[in-house]
Structure 1
Amino acid sequence: MKNCLCFSLIFLLGACARADHLGRAPTFTPTKNAVEHTAMMDPGLPLVAEPQRLVDQASLWRAGRTSLLGDRRALQKGDILTVRIEIDEEAEISNSTSRSRSGSDSLGIPQLFGLPQRLNEKLPEGASMADAVSLNSNSRSDGDGSVSRREELTLRLAATVMEVLPNGVLAIKGSQEVRVNFELRELLVTGYVRPEDISRQNEITYDKIAAARISYGGRGQISDMQQPRYGQQVLDMILPF
């Protein structure tokens, strides 16, 4: 009974994951009430209140972020900035190990107050205390490994300031979805940036994002065909051979 329930749960999980795009294009992730939408709707209170003077209201020149020469970089919760992801890396690692060991031990009691002679009478034919224990062991281990990897990725997306930490660092999160036919490509970026690292164009590169988490993948019919079935993944996890 328990086995049937386990297999039923695995089947339902696999079916629910693909039911979204069964015979149709995958649906977009809703943006209403998302974490980015919540951050924009509730930007929080300013740390210092700046009273607006009547002179500023009547003047042609206005100081602030909305003025002609104002600083429009992302500085507070709910602001938007552009993240540039330009990854062009190449790594090649090769190593080789070899280990061998051999050992030999022998133990015998030819004379000990006549006790070995008495024991030899009771031992099976061919056994003798003169050569009671003899051990030999040999072991050898060889290993070779190599890694060759090349990654190239160039992307741009808008991220939202989710939180302003007490030290002024900005916690950002950005998501982007592009659907082509029946395949949906997803790009996710999260991390922490310093306001001074944001350029005058309100942009920042990925190498200036602390604790950066970048995910570029997708879901749809093609992605489903490239992945092994859930049953095969479970067997690969539990089978020792």
Structure 2
Amino acid sequence: MSARTGSALRIASLGALGLLAGCGTAGRLGSIGRAPKMSPVEQVGTPQSIDSLATVRGDPASPAPESVIPSASLFRTGAGALFQDQRAGRVGDILTIRVNVSDKAVVDTSTARSRDGSESGGASALFGLEKIVKKLAGVDTSKLVESASTSKSSGSGNTSRSETVTMTIAAVVTAVLPNGNLLIRGRQETRVNFELRELLVSGIVRPQDIARDNSIRHTQIAEARISYGGRGQLTDAQQARWGQQLMDVLSPF
């Protein structure tokens, strides 16, 4: 094997490996026979709260910082109150999101166009030459030019779409905006055998829209991002092979 042939084979192999890596094939090869992994739980910062008076500290001999020394006040930070609003309002609080997407749209369009046109022209008298032209060429000079045109077009289209998603998910307040609105993010994953279903919800909510049971509808979330899908063997079976997808993108026909 010549050096040129070996170099060409190496370049082809590197190109094939790059193509496989770009299509995610290398990662899928390592997950054959294994269930899809769940995403790690993300940490959300929460404000510091004071322990309850009934909580026993790990080391009674070690003095507690002055900022967290328990007091006898019922209104200390983190203490539950009988008349306190228990709805989410701080970073780290949890609220329930009720997702009930039921969209249906039907669009019918129809257009039609028709146009007819005709033009004619001639010379019934042309200094007496019309008789000579008619005799030599056999042309009727009164109908020298005549044209007719007809144009018709019609079109119709139909679009029908129906989607239904009904889920309930718990979300976490990740930030409080200067105007008091809350940034929320919720993630729910359910794995059954070799298929992982995941629901992602994020957006901005107003504290006034949170119901008394600490829940909110998805229609009250601004900048809502709702994603429901999954990954696993069933999802892979529903997708076309990467070679077919590549041909669909590159093929001009």
TM-score under structure 1 normalisation? Answer: 0.70
Partner of 1:97: 110
For the structure 1 residues 135 and 93, does the alpha-carbon distance in structure 2 shift closer, same or farther, using more than 3 Å as the test? same
Query: In the TM superposition, what are the counterparts of 1:70-219 in structure 2 within 5 Å?
Result: 70-87=84-101, 89=102, 91=104, 93-106=106-119, 108=121, 110=123, 131=144, 134=147, 136-147=149-160, 149-151=162-164, 153-219=165-231
CA contact (8 A) 1:10 1:231 kept: no
Tell me, which stretches of 5 or more residues in structure 2 are unaligned? 1-7, 49-66, 134-138
Residue 19 of structure 1: how far off its partner (Å): 3.8
Partner of 2:60: none
Tell me, which stretches of 5 or more residues in structure 1 are unaligned? 45-51, 121-125
The more displaced of 65-74 and 168-177 is: 65-74
> Which whole-Å deviations, capped at 9, do the CAs of 1:18-48 have from their partners, x for residues lacking one?
34632211111122xx4xx1xx23659xxxx
CA contact (8 A) 1:65 1:72 kept: no
Larger CA Rg, structure 1 vs 2: 2
User: Could you tell me how far apart the structure 2 residues matched to 1:104 and 1:90 are?
Assistant: 47
Residue 160 of structure 1: how far off its partner (Å): 1.7
User: Could you tell me how far apart the structure 2 residues matched to 1:95 and 1:101 are?
Assistant: 21
Residue of 37, 45, 49 corresponding to 1:41: 45
**Identity fraction in percent:** 37
Partner of 2:71: 57
CA contact (8 A) 1:74 1:202 kept: yes
> Which whole-Å deviations, capped at 9, do the CAs of 1:35-78 have from their partners, x for residues lacking one?
xx1xx23659xxxxxxx9x9x9224x446652242333221223
Which amino acid letter does the alignment assign opposite residue 18 of structure 1?
Answer: R
SS at match of 2:33: coil
For the structure 1 residues 92 and 165, does the alpha-carbon distance in structure 2 shift closer, same or farther, using more than 3 Å as the test? closer
Aligned residue pairs total 218
CA contact (8 A) 2:45 2:91 kept: no
For the structure 1 residues 230 and 189, does the alpha-carbon distance in structure 2 shift closer, same or farther, using more than 3 Å as the test? same
CA contact (8 A) 2:97 2:170 kept: yes
CA contact (8 A) 1:163 1:170 kept: yes
Q: What is the alpha-carbon root mean square deviation over aligned residues?
A: 4.0
CA contact (8 A) 1:190 1:214 kept: yes
For the structure 1 residues 6 and 192, does the alpha-carbon distance in structure 2 shift closer, same or farther, using more than 3 Å as the test? farther
CA contact (8 A) 1:106 1:131 kept: no
> Which whole-Å deviations, capped at 9, do the CAs of 1:76-99 have from their partners, x for residues lacking one?
223222212233x35352524131
Residue of 11, 16, 32 corresponding to 1:22: 32
SS at match of 1:57: coil
TM-score under structure 2 normalisation? Answer: 0.68
Which amino acid letter does the alignment assign opposite residue 29 of structure 1?
Answer: S
Residue 154 of structure 1: how far off its partner (Å): 2.6
Which amino acid letter does the alignment assign opposite residue 71 of structure 2?
Answer: Q
SS at match of 1:139: strand
